[in-house]
Amino acid sequence: MSELQSIDASNFDSLTASGVVLIDFWAEWCAPCKMLMPTIEQVASETAGKATVGKINIDDSQELALKFQISSIPTCVLLRDGEEVQRWTGIRPADEYVNAIMASA
């Protein structure tokens, strides 16, 4: 199983500069975010070696939440070579994320 990356300002640029990255913007107090966690873990496992899957805690990384104009959580953003290619708000099935990652890889 691929391990989820904890992303913050210190490692954001190095993790997102190249390749495909799925970022889950979340917060500890967000019940839907906690419900999405097993799905994100499944996506990380299914896309191991093809994409990086990580989480950004919006309370700890407010500058990144502002950069991506996150107004509702959970929000997942798919990046390819540092550029946003797709965005989802709310809870979605794992195959929706996996299919988007495979199409971008």
At 66-100, the pLDDT tens digits run 999 999 999 999 999 999 999 999 999 999 999 99
In the chain, what is the straight-line distance between the N-terminal and C-terminal CA atoms, in Å?
Answer: 19
Full strand arrangement of the beta sheet holding 75-80:
5-6, 52-57, 20-26, 75-80, 83-89
Fold of 5-104: Glutaredoxin (3.40.30)
Q: Indicate the domain borders of the chain.
A: 5-104
pLDDT > 80? residue 53: yes
Residues forming the active site: 30, 33
Question: What is the pLDDT, as a whole number, of residue 105?
Answer: 83
